[in-house]
Amino acid sequence: METDIDDRYGDLDSRTDSDIPEIPPSSDRTPEILKKALSGLSSRWKNWWIRGILTLTMISLFFLIIYMGSFMLMLLVLGIQVKCFHEIITIGYRVYRSYDLPWFRTLSWYFLLCVNYFFYGETVADYFATFVQREEQLQFLIRYHRFISFALYLAGFCMFVLSLVKKHYRLQFYMFAWTHVTLLITVTQSHLVIQNLFEGMIWFLVPISSVICNDITAYLFGFFFGRTPLIKLSPKKTWEGFIGGFFSTVVFGFIAAYMLSKYQYFVCPVEYRSDVNSFVTECEPSELFQLQSYSLPPFLKAVLRRETVSLYPFQIHSIALSTFASLIGPFGGFFASGFKRAFKIKDFANTIPGHGGIMDRFDCQYLMATFVHVYITSFIRGPNPSKVLQQLLVLQPEQQLNIYKTLKTHLIEKGILQPTLKL
């Protein structure tokens, strides 16, 4: 019996791609009404219609959630994160046949809970300081948040060590690493998506919609005009689709940025107002979202017959976001294609007919979320007065008084405040 276990698990690290067991294909979950309506079409056109109908349905639901507000968008991100984690972890279970490993399924979800507790606790500490200040129990949790998070993770780590079983060691460590890489891909990236959302809904909508636009237009250009293969990892991807998707996405991003920049609902940072106990998006729009006049280059002056053009500065930034979404973003999809080929699967799951799993639709979004976060912190973000005020409010009275005295002295030295006046 021990020899059989050795044969099964002992040589996992020496297997080649051809040795990976094939995972049974997922069942077709296309609604019967669609199957009957499209029964007379070829498989190529049947898939085109199924993808199109489901895409329009998902976009409509997305608009509805946007209308419902920032909190519902955060719940949507959390739900997508959990589903993506489930899809990737399930592949690991199937590939390594690890269903019988002691505690492992429980530990995987426990680690997901721990990492989410850490990241969302950090968000609460950053953006809900005024609310936390009123609740004594929350003050304790926030003050010792990182210690509690580490203790929770440490408990899971010890549980994993205690669960190690002779002849299963190598497989258990494979799955331990698989879980942590999955957490890195899903949880940390979804946390960045929410951080972008707090900067203003426009920083959430334009990048995400640009990736969606590139996905749709690249598919359409490839479907109707595609002739030249783009990359071996994705045989259906073509240069025609890649180039057509790029230009379409840049134009779409530029127009979407113009439309959304007009409304406070989209451009103001998402903040929690304790007096109304809800999220609000009210502010005086920054210069980034105020129309500015720009001089045109000489060759455009002759074509457009005008000297200047009025644009929102954010529209210029949208070109950078759209360019990344259409040129670099697809590499997230190529990475996912390589992953699926390595484990001989067509899709991560069969959640959405014609599309595959949730991860199949969001493989490029995670890479985009990281870029947007880095872009904001590098080129956009300045001091946020409301956030600075929240951080001051959670300080002890003595610390607030010291800051007050220092600020008053600085203003007097600069001649901004008269010594006889009170701040």
Q: Are 310 and 292 in contact (CB under 8 A)?
A: yes
Rounded mean pLDDT of 334-357?
Answer: 85
Decide which of 421 and 362 is more confident. 362
Mean residue pLDDT across the chain: 82
Residue 66: is its pLDDT beyond 80?
yes
- When mean pLDDT is compared over 14-18, 40-44, 365-369, the highest value belongs to 365-369
With a pLDDT cut of 70, the percent of the chain lying above it is 79
Question: Cβ of 51: how many Cβ atoms within 10 Å?
Answer: 17
Decide which of 120 and 273 is more confident. 120
Nearest to 350 by CA among 109, 52, 57, 23: 23
Instruction: Spell out the alpha helix ranges (H) of 128-269.
Output: 129-134, 136-143, 145-163, 169-198, 201-225, 239-260, 264-267
Q: Are 17 and 345 in contact (CB under 8 A)?
A: no
Q: Which residues of 119-146 are buried (b: 16+ CB within 10 A; e: fewer)?
A: bebbebbebbbbebbeeeebeeebeebe
Q: Where are the beta strands (DSSP E) in 277-414?
A: 278-280, 292-295, 308-311
Decide which of 412 and 67 is more confident. 67
Return the pLDDT at 23: 57
Q: Are 358 and 348 in contact (CB under 8 A)?
A: yes
pLDDT digits (tens, 9 = 90+) for 218-273: 989 998 898 899 988 888 889 999 999 999 999 999 999 999 999 999 999 877 66
Confidence of residue 390 (pLDDT cuts 50, 70, 90): low
Report the C-alpha gap between 192 and 101 in whole angstroms: 33
Residue 18: is its pLDDT beyond 60?
no
Report the C-alpha gap between 253 and 318 in whole angstroms: 6
- The token pair that represents 290 in the structure block: 């105020």
Report the C-alpha gap between 62 and 56 in whole angstroms: 10
Longest dimension (CA), the chain: 90
Report the C-alpha gap between 308 and 298 in whole angstroms: 11
Angle 114-119-124 from CA coordinates, rounded to 5°: 120
